[in-house]
Chain A
Amino acid sequence: MSAVTQAPVAAVADARKAGDWLLIATAILLCVWVLLPIYLLIVNALSSPDAVTAFPKRFFPAFDLGSLSFFVNFAGVARALWNSVLVATLTMILSIGFGAPAGYALSRFDFPGKGTFRFLVLMTRAFPLPLLALPLAVMFIRTGLDDTAIGLALVHTTLALPFAVLITFSLFSGIPVELEEAAWTLGCTRLQAFRKVILPLALPGIAASAVFAFTISWNEVFAAAVLTIENRTLTAFLLQSLGESPLYLKFAGGAALVVPALIFIFAVRKYLFAMWGIANR
């Protein structure tokens, strides 16, 4: 009797254990996949130029700032960095300026085609940028937007906008509509209620969404390389000089790109999870 009941129990326990191991192994594999390149990048960025090209490789950073200082003083880096910041800031302003109202509308109003609209917002990410880059380049040259920060920021905004819409949508949905209604009954117009009640509550999330838009622009390389010539962003600049620059410059440049992005994303991770419906909706 007991043997009959124990056998399936043991089998279930075994299966569960195997499942646990599989989960752990997969998690470790994914972590290594993501973290190892970043680790090597940072180790090499923090090594002296000689150590980078030497063999055997070091696996612990020497905290030598030689590579980084060379990178910072390399001709054109400062300008490219400034361009990157400028374009990313413009992208941030544009995508929040357009994305937050769209997110608010999605969370508060029922309108025909709401589901389709949400789908289309995501669909904009389905078109590969190379497909759009050539016609865009032609159009930009005709309108005089080529090689300008605002032109590139517009392209980056189309990339960042879907995320801005979805993050702010989830954000506004998480704020009870009754708070807004209470504000109306207490003498607020729609705009006042938004400013006095909704905005203060949504501000951390909106900031997170802005940072995310900034990061998308900061990391983007293809459109930046195609649409700018004189006013290269840092990514495009590094891509351009990839062939002729020494190895330690590439490592230092890579670290300069990755580290801020990593820090930003880490800071706003809570809101990115919310976008995919883990936190609310």
Chain B
Amino acid sequence: MAEIAIKGVAKRFGGFTALHQVDLAIADQEFMVLLGASGCGKTTLLRIVAGLETPSQGEVWIGGRRVDHLTPRERGIAMVFQNYAVFPHLTVFENIAFGLRMKKLPQADVERRVNRTAELMHIEQLLKRYSGQLSGGQRQRVAVARALAMEPDVILMDEPLSNLDALLRLEMRAELKGVLAASKTTTIYVTHDQVEAMSLADRIAVMHQGRIVQAASPVEVYRNPAARFVGSFIGNPPMNFVPATKAGNGSWSVAGLTLAGPKSDKQTIEFAIRPEDVDAGSEGLHATVRVIEPLGPHTLVTCDVEGGLFRATLDSNAGIKVGEDLRLAPKADRIRWFDPETTNAL
């Protein structure tokens, strides 16, 4: 049992605030992904949980035990680093056995656990090699095996796949998911790759400028972004935003269309929709086609809507031409509204 609680954790480096008062609860055996652009504080947060960085304030709890004053070795964690950090002077076997030897396990147990994790990561034929004789993907496997062999309560991963080439990344991603689910550990996984985050996570914590903007399931984060940033960061192409002006109590005028929306005192708010949630029809948002990119399964159409960029993924056979005026009908249940000042969802 190792649930993690991060309570009011802040981190300042000199005058720069890397984390503002972050709160996050992670359930036992949950796969939590910290997602954000570089410099958003996700790695700092992970390192605080690992004990490699001390928080300026706040508490970290692992398995009901407060750990923020403990050294990394006392926290029951294992970590996989972005550059793998496989010890170059030790064989693969000794690398995986390193933590077990520190625990002073009997030789028979060490061998059993090394062999089992090596088998799990498909590196049993590499045990006698040194890291210099391994490819990037193999080193990655050694790093994961070394963490798993510890049988930790918590595994922390810092962009473990970002140094692999695209094909290998895809393969390792699926494998990691299987292995980690079977190991029943709680996982915190840091990445800037939204596809990786969506495919691996039980829950995604989207971070922006030292804050957690939203922590929810991948589908929830995608469908119901809690803030404008989440909508614009997740999804490729990202969500479209169009200004909406008040047309009545709870009705808003958006690019020539009047829609029912939230009740608000504000005169203008923002209308938002995913590119795949509009259809070309006889009625809808007034749009002028600028660029057409056929992608096979669908066609990406970039338009002008109310003077702003608007992307729609439409059917490949729609027969749209550049310069044409379109009517893009949004699916009513997929429309989201944002407050332009707080940028939060309405």
Contact = CB atoms under 8 A, between A and B. Distances in A.
Interface centre among B72, B77, B98 (most CB of A within 10 A): B72
A196 B156 CA distance: 23
B102 A186 contact: yes
Contacts of A196: 98
Contact of A187 (B83, B87, B102): B102
Contacts of B150: 186-187
Contacts of B266: none
Contact of A189 (B71, B89, B99, B103): B71
Contacts of B52: 181, 184-185
Interface string A176-202: 101101111111110010001100110
Interface residues of B, number: 23
Contact of A185 (B77, B87, B103): B77
Interface string B76-99: 011101110101110000000011
Contact of B81 (A181, A187, A197, A201): A181
B73 interface: yes
A185 B78 contact: yes
Contact of A181 (B79, B102, B103, B146): B79
Interface string A44-81: 00000000000000000000000000000000000000
Nearest to B84: A178
A189 B73 contact: yes
Interface residues of A, number: 17
Contacts of A179: 85, 87-88
A176 B77 CA distance: 21
A114 to B, nearest CB: 14
B155 to A, nearest CB: 10
Contacts of A185: 50-52, 72-73, 77-79, 156
Given A183-B98, A186-B150, A188-B73, A197 B83 contact: no
A176 B85 contact: yes
A124 B98 CA distance: 42
A196 B87 CA distance: 10
A178 B73 contact: no
Given A178-B83, A181-B79, A187 B89 contact: no
Given A197-B87, A201-B89, A186 B81 contact: no
A192 B102 contact: yes
Contacts of B146: 182, 186
Contact of B88 (A187, A188, A201): A201
B221 to A, nearest CB: 29
B78 A186 contact: yes
Contact of B79 (A176, A182, A188, A197): A182
Interface of A: 176, 178-179, 181-189, 192, 196-197, 200-201
26 contacts: A178-B82, A179-B85, A179-B87, A181-B72, A181-B79, A181-B81, A181-B85, A182-B85, A182-B146, A183-B87, A183-B98, A184-B71, A185-B50, A185-B73, A185-B77, A186-B73, A186-B99, A186-B150, A187-B73, A187-B99, A187-B103, A187-B150, A188-B73, A189-B71, A196-B98, A201-B88
Given A184-B73, A189-B73, A197-B87, 5 more contacts: A181-B81, A185-B72, A185-B79, A187-B103, A189-B71
